[in-house]
Structure 1
Amino acid sequence: MKATEAIDHLDPQKWADTPPAERLRLLEEVRENMKRFGDELATADSRMKNDILGTPLYSDPVSKVGTVVPMANTVTAAVDLYEAIIEGRMLQPVKVEKVGNDLYDIYVFPQARKDKLIYADRKDRIRVKGEPRQVNPMDKPAGIIAVLGAGNYSSSLEMMKAIFFENCTVVHKPHHLNEKTDAVWAKIMQPLIDHGALSFCASDQGRDLTVDPRLTTIYFTGGTGTAQAIMSATDTPLISECGGNNPCIVVPGDRPWTKKEIEHQAVQIATMSKLNGGAVCGRIQTLVTSKHWPQRQEFLDALAVALEETTPATGIYYPGSDKVIEGFKAAYPDAKVLRPEGGRHPHSEVLLITGAEPGSYACTHEAFTLVIDEVPLDVPAKAAEFLPKAVDFCNTQLLGTLGSAILIDEDTKQAHQDVLAQAVTDIEYGGIAINTMPPFIFLSPYLTWGGNEEGKAFVSGHGNFGNLLNYENVEKSIIEANFMSAGHMMNTNKTAFDNMAENMSRFAVEPTWGNLTCLMGEAIRDSFRKKDF
């Protein structure tokens, strides 16, 4: 469909006048369609990637995790929101804490009993400037938002967030890689299409879509250059997420990390860094360490083992990745080239760069592929001295402001709570993950996702998506877990990972106690499986 035709289909005022009970019915219909078409969606996604690779590295269950699960979780959250609105109230946070001069942390997740069981150690919060104030989405003005979908994942969560959190109708344009999955999404979203709240246009309609004067806002996920081109071509406000070089600050412990702790963190990093061939928004790229940390080399050695031996191969399919890797190899000719599963799969090598200098190529370039670099700072290996210096390095020398992570053991965290709290305040990133990984921020409808670039050059984008509880003036989102959390994603057995993915998908589209029991029970059983690749 042409862009103009897709916009013609929308009826913003009808959507604004649609009562909460009717919206709730539409959400339930969409969720039912996700049950019906979820397998077809996953097959289309995995087939696209495997056809590019020429080998079946992406399984349908794993594709479901990247497509069905995020959207289903967003739908479930929206159901909770509109059930509350029908009762005459807004969803309330777990608690609100004043953390500084005119700064508040609003704890938003987990709330429901099932979520508290799955995410028992999680403390997810948004940081708000000024007195916290919620806005009922029903009170927001009608409008039309153009959502330009990303190429790395076909699950355009921004569609649902724009419709149900912002009270706007949406025209969605897919990335050309995701045309076939987008056709399945159109089936899933048919109730919203029939209602005049959503339409789809062809992947080649980007320019015509973005310059249409009827648009209220444009949501864009993609490259910085494309975002800048959109801004130069139209006066329509742009909310954009454009990636960047996401750091993971490894805080030296007051006590030595155990061998188990080092291996656990290495596998967590390896698992998350290899998802989707490294093409994940918020994926950590630069490890920030202390040059004087006695366990630095032990940690880096464990990471190399985790990347090459402990976790399975994944395939690099995203366009342009080969040139990106060539650039990093040219800058660091001594970097380790790791070959998971003995190198028998094409396009699966991982480049590990250690000892990169501050200000060098690795700091100023985004990988968005299977590249991990480490920058050791010449700072004492003491948490109170290292963490502020590491934050300053990230703020001033790394490209972008999208997502960041801080790994700190529980004893050191307890002893330096004030130092950690100040680091969270000072670090200029839109998402901060403490003892977990930044992509989980993007996946949560309760949180916001976007850069934190006030006063900086445009790299990671402006504005943010998400914010289920509809608070104003959100500065950043913070997600926190335990250092050795049982909830960390660890892919050390393909069968177990596929089982987890399938069970997560089933629970996401049908969040019953029975499906939760199956998810948790099989996860415990599969935790005893040995390496199968």
Structure 2
Amino acid sequence: MRTGMNTVNDHPPSLDTLVEELRRGEETWGSMSLSARRDLLAVLSEALQQHAQEWVDVACSIKRLSPTSQLAGEEWISGPYAVLSGVGALSATLAALEGGRSPLDGFHLSQAPDDRVAVRVLPHTLFDRLLLNGFTAEVWSKPGVTADRLRKAAGLGQRTPKETGGIGLVLGAGNIFSIAPLDTLYELFAHNRVVLLKLNPITDPLLPVLNKVFAPFIELGLLRIVTGGVEFGAAAVAHPGIGHVHITGSVTSHDVIVFGPGEEGRARQTRGEVLLDKPITSELGGVSPTIVVPGNWSKRDLAFQAEHIVTQKLHNNGYNCIASQVLVLSSDWAQKDDFLKALRKAFTDAVARPAYYPGSDDRCAAAVRDHPGTAKQVADGSRVLLEEIPVGDDIAFAEEYFAPVLAVTSLPGQGRDFLDRAAAFANDRLSGTLGANVVAHPRTIRALGADFTRFIADLRYGTVAVNAWTGVGYLTARATWGAFPGHTLQDAQSGIGIVHNGLLLDGTERTVVHGPFRPFPRSVLTGQFTLSPRPPWFVTNRTAAVTGRRLAAFAGRPGWAKLPGIFASALRG
């Protein structure tokens, strides 16, 4: 085991020592003013900007990508950019509280369906309007939670900074490298918990970089970063000095922690006998759908949205908790065959990449084996497209592949009839509730009117994205991220609780994202008047690495002078 105290140490601190150091750090945390906490975030931001290139180089090494490849853009955007954006949002929230204001002051609030309140978190600044023109994001409250309650509760643990929350264990993810740092910051600032962060073994090479980035937190005893295997993780979960556990991973790992391993653990789960003696929150992925609402599309619309859906699947080679797994089409859509033709081309043409995540090739092989006659594997064997899966008890609907496997299924209907069937299928037949994507022509959305709004409200997912990928919700620092509320330890689905949430809101239910149906300049030429070109997270974006690096630099230190370089790179993508 190595720790954040010692990058290389023949005699690392024991678990008891780490917990004792964090206990003293908790006292320090409770004595720190909001201003001092903001200063810590500022130092972290500077350190991350200084070491961002090192971070991305290590990330590319882990994923066996060339640092000069366009795919390196994924590591810039889902790594340093995401963390720097999160730090900026938290800093603004602390500044509002320090000034005696609600973090929601200056944000637009409106009514959402069924007695909900919508908080518009994107765009918030003029920079947002320029850099992500055409994209919006709202955080919806739970039904019955009023705007006044949202304002009064915003800030969570930072409203009472002296009331600390003990020591939390964060079990980091191994796929997206901003997850563990952002989860750590959420524990510290939302819940006032100091943190023992155990890295996923895949991300162990990032330990030296994370030590540098989080140095001020480590020096004050607010954070310890450790590596280790399953045995160390189990010991940390069971340690009496640790009062809370947060995991990003699979539902299988969650259930082992809560109920124990093997047959005995499964028997306990069936009986509802919890073995874990402390609270746990989680983000556990699931089977994410992309629902295509039938309409009248141009050939360029078909090609662009095929690229969009392939991005939703193949970003990070499918090793994303919200990678689209089931594409839902209308069997009555006149353009269904044309769209499938465009999808096959985009799926086949996508840049090949190594299967770095353990077990990926085995899961792809199992998908082919389980779907004889419908599985289409690209020539290099790296990706699997399942056409068409009948609606039924298929494994593709029940288990997350966490691999480059995309299944296609169809439901009958047009208009509201199709929307009702699609919502019921996604809610009741697919495992998990983390994220759902919807693709619909603007004319179709306008024609459906209130029926389309009802459809979005009916989808029981923690993030719903319309003409955007739910990954945009992940990257929006002030949006909430997590499963739809209501899951239990016995049936955790996509998890319990939320993270990110830079406004530190309470009483939230979901995030709803909207994006442009077409990229600039075609959007303007067809009357949509949005200025975003092909997004830099698209797997087809040729300048993603340059744009991602420039976006990360902007997130760390926003300024007008940086915009021309970002726009120039983005437009070439």
What TM-score do the two structures reach when normalised by structure 2?
A: 0.85
2:100 pairs, out of 88, 106, 112, with: 88
What residue identity is the alignment partner of 1:264?
F
Task: Say whether residues 1:469 and 2:503 are aligned partners.
Answer: yes
Displacement, 1:508?
2.4
**Partner of residue 66, structure 1:** 78
SS in 2 for 1:286: strand
Query: Residue 419 of structure 2 is aligned with which of 381, 387, 398?
Result: 387
Q: Residues 235-268 of structure 1, C-alpha deviation per residue, up to 9 Å, x if partnerless?
A: 2111111111000110011xx1011111111111
1:391 positional shift: 0.4
Aligned match of 2:346: 306
- What amino acid does structure 2 have at the position aligned with 1:250? V
Whole-Å separation in 2 of the counterparts to 1:44 and 1:492 = 20
In the TM superposition, residue 358 of structure 1 has moved relative to its aligned partner by 1.2
Measured in 1, the distance between the counterparts of 2:313 and 2:98 equals 41
| Residue 371 (structure 2) aligns with | 332
After the TM superposition, which residues 287-366 of structure 1 pair with which residues of structure 2 at under 5 Å, given as runs? 287-309=327-349, 311-339=350-378, 343=380, 349-359=382-392, 360-366=394-400
In 2: Cα distance, 1:201 partner to 1:414 partner: 52
1:387 to 1:15, Cα distance in 2 relative to 1, 3 A: same
Q: Find the counterpart in structure 1 of residue 204 from structure 2.
A: 179
CA 1:488–1:473 in 2, change beyond 3 Å: closer, same or farther?
farther
Structure 1 residues 338 and 502 mapped into 2: Cα distance closer, same or farther (>3 Å)?
Answer: farther
Distance change in 2, residues 1:416/1:338 (3 Å)? same
| CA distance in structure 1 between the partners assigned to 2:541 and 2:45 by the alignment | 28
The secondary structure found in structure 1 opposite 2:197 is strand
Q: Which stretch of the first structure deviates more once superposed, 3-12 or 206-215? A: 3-12
Instruction: Give the aligned partner of residue 212 of structure 1.
Output: 239
Distance of aligned partners of 1:139 and 1:91 in 2 relative to their CA distance in 1, 3 Å threshold: closer
Q: Which moved more, 1:480-489 or 1:444-453?
A: 480-489
Per-residue displacement from partner, 1:131-190 (whole Å, max 9, x unpaired)? Answer: 232233323541222111001122221111222233221111000011111221111100
**Alignment length (residue pairs):** 513
Instruction: For residues 204-253 of structure 1, give each alpha carbon's deviation from its aligned partner in whole angstroms, at most 9, with x where no partner exists.
Output: 32111111223332110011111012123422111111111000110011
Measured on the aligned residues, the alpha-carbon RMSD in Å equals 2.2
The secondary structure found in structure 2 opposite 1:25 is: helix
Per-residue deviation, 1:315: 2.4
Q: Deviations over 1:345-367 (max 9, x none)?
A: xxx62111122011222212211
Contact kept? 2:68, 2:545, Cα under 8 Å:
no
Report if aligned partners of 1:170, 1:198 keep a CA contact under 8 Å in 2. yes
- Counting aligned pairs with the same residue, the percent is 25
Cα shift at 1:400? 1.1
**Aligned-pair distance for 1:55?**
12
* CA displacement, residues 318-359 of structure 1 (integer Å, 9 cap, x when unaligned): 1111221122101222345454xx74xxxx621111220112
Residues in 2 aligned to 1:274 and 1:492: alpha-carbon distance in whole angstroms: 7
Aligned to 2:283, which of 219, 237, 241? 241
The Cα shift of 1:88 comes to: 1.8
Amino acid at match of 1:218: V
Q: Which whole-Å deviations, capped at 9, do the CAs of 1:9-52 have from their partners, x for residues lacking one?
A: 222232133111111111111111112211211111111221xx
Matches within 5 A, 1:38-53: 38-50=52-64
Question: Equivalents in 2 of 1:392, 1:488: separation in Å?
Answer: 32
Query: What is the aligned counterpart of 2:173 among 129, 150, 164?
Result: 150
**CA distance in 1 between partners of 2:154 and 2:26 (Å):** 19
2-structure distance, mates of 1:278, 1:117: 30
Match of 1:138 in 2: 158
Q: Any conservation in 2 of the 1:271–1:489 contact (CA below 8 Å)?
A: no
Residue matched to 1:189 = 214
1:150 and 1:175 in contact (8 A); partners too: yes
Q: Distance in 1 between matches of 2:548 and 2:66?
A: 23
1:16–1:138 contact (8 Å) kept in structure 2: no
Give 1:438's match in structure 2, choosing from 460, 465, 470: 470
Say if 2:72 and 2:544, in contact at 8 Å, map to a contact too: no
In structure 2, the CA distance between the partners of 1:389 and 1:58, relative to structure 1 (3 Å rule), is same
The reply to whether residue 35 of structure 1 matches residue 75 of structure 2 is no
In the TM superposition, what is the alpha-carbon distance from 1:3 to its structure 2 partner? 3.3
Matched residues in 2 for 1:506 and 1:55: separation? 17
What amino acid is aligned across from residue 302 of structure 1 in structure 2?
A
Which among 3, 11, 26 is matched to residue 15 of structure 2? Answer: 3
1:303-326: CA deviation from partner (whole Å, max 9, x where unpaired): 1111212x3222221111122112
Paired position in structure 2 for 1:23:
37
- Aligned partners of 1:274 and 1:314 also within 8 Å: no
Structure 1: state its 5+ residue gaps. Answer: 528-533
State which drifts further: 187-196 or 102-111. Answer: 102-111
Q: Does 1:169 find its partner at 2:194?
A: yes
- 1:114 CA drift (Å): 0.9
Shift in alpha-carbon separation, 1:180–1:441, aligned structure 2, 3 A: same
Structure 2 CA distance for aligned equivalents of residues 180 and 315 of structure 1: 18
Pick from 453, 459, 473: which aligns with 1:427? 459
- TM-score computed with the length of structure 1 as normaliser: 0.91
2:554 corresponds to 1:507: yes
State the alpha-carbon separation in 1 of the partners of residues 562 and 510 from structure 2: 33
The alpha-carbon distance between structure 1 residues 7 and 154, as it changes in their structure 2 partners (threshold 3 A), is farther
Letter paired with 1:207: A
Q: 407, 424, 437: which is aligned to 2:439? A: 407
Q: Distance in 1 between matches of 2:126 and 2:190?
A: 23
Aligned partner letter, 2:88: T
Amino acid corresponding to residue 292 of structure 1 in structure 2: D
